[in-house]
Amino acid sequence: MTLDVKAYWATAPGQGEIRDETLQPPGPDEVLVETRYSAVSRGTEALVASGRVPVSQHRAMRCPFQAGEFPFPVKYGYCNVGLVEAGPADLVGRHVFCLYPHQTRYVVPATAVQPLPEALGPRRAVLTANLETALNALWDAALLPGERVVVVGAGVIGCLIARLAVQLPGAEVTLVDIDPAKAGIAAALGVPFRTSLAGHPPADCVFHAAAAPPALAGALEIAGFEARIVEVSWYGDKAVPLPLGEAFHSQRLRLVGSQVGAVAPALRPRFDHQRRLAKAMDILAADDRLEALLDAETPFATLPAMLPRLTAGAGLCHVVTYGT
């Protein structure tokens, strides 16, 4: 028997709708998952919702279970936690994470879901994809104990990077954001905070997670001799000017692009995507401070009215609820 479900689709810049869809029953190597929570990515998903994915990146930026094509209409998302209703016996009744869009139920291969550790609640687990991104950024940076680290941009990714970095022995970590209200979240994460880079001593490594060209220019200025600047923002179709004619060459700076689509080179021989995902879940389960990154909740049925406003805002991880 088929199953009727509902899914959110972005249909035009700043517009979306909930569509009725029909699922086929799961096959022998598939699972049927009932979504309990999903999360809105204020970075990539905001660019998708506004139709700003460059044509050259249409293939690269597809999420695993995307439907439709860029720019519109498209079903997009990758932070989904649900309960397995049918499938292999060892998965039935378990909460799992999947890189699936906003949809009430879905069928995917059993290998596409990752069971949650017992200590990880399903609501917090929506941060898994974001934490995987942050973990990969630290690997790309080859961050070392004792280094002076600056994280520019206190969105979800910046906060997660700062939280991971501050736990390195001897690390001096500062989270920077122009919004003074972010001081509260920094305190909850145990990370020193400031609203400006002015007067900060030269850093060994700077992570830029603000998706703001002036902030990236500031990251170059604050970097010490032969330091790394790790860019984790994605700008979509926006041009990004950089002052590379100033201290960039004389300081022998390194600008590193970090993106979650591939495991960082240093770990790639031993870590595949599944092992990295499992490690992100272990970290989430063990760190109660990360609960502070979960923002307000929005019922799935209200997404067409709410999602354009959510992606335009400056909040943290906004949780979508499914009424179960």
pLDDT in tens, the chain (324 residues): 899 999 999 999 989 999 999 999 999 999 999 999 999 988 888 889 889 999 999 999 999 999 999 999 999 999 999 999 999 999 999 999 999 999 999 999 999 999 999 999 999 999 999 999 999 999 999 999 999 999 999 999 999 999 999 999 999 999 999 999 999 999 999 999 999 999 999 999 999 999 999 999 999 999 999 999 999 999 988 899 999 988 899 999 999 999 999 999 999 999 999 999 999 999 999 999 999 999 889 999 999 988 777 777 667 999 999 986
pLDDT the model gives residue 42? 81
Query: What is d(CA 109, CA 287) in angstroms, rounded to the nearest whole number?
Result: 30
pLDDT the model gives residue 324? 61
The answer to whether 35 touches 103, Cβ cutoff 8 Å, is yes
Structure tokens at 25: 């029953």
The contacts of residue 291 (CB under 8 Å, 6+ apart) are 124
Q: State whether the Cα torsion 97-103-104-107 is positive or negative.
A: negative
pLDDT the model gives residue 315? 78
Write down the CATH number for the domain with range 3-129+287-321: 3.90.180.10
Return the closest-CA partner of residue 116 out of 310, 284, 316, 317.
284
pLDDT the model gives residue 6? 98
pLDDT the model gives residue 194? 98
Q: What is the pTM of this model?
A: 0.96
Same CATH topology for 3-129+287-321 and 143-257? Answer: no
The answer to whether 242 touches 217, Cβ cutoff 8 Å, is yes
CATH topology for 143-257 is Rossmann fold (3.40.50)
Q: Where are the domains of the chain?
A: 3-129+287-321, 143-257
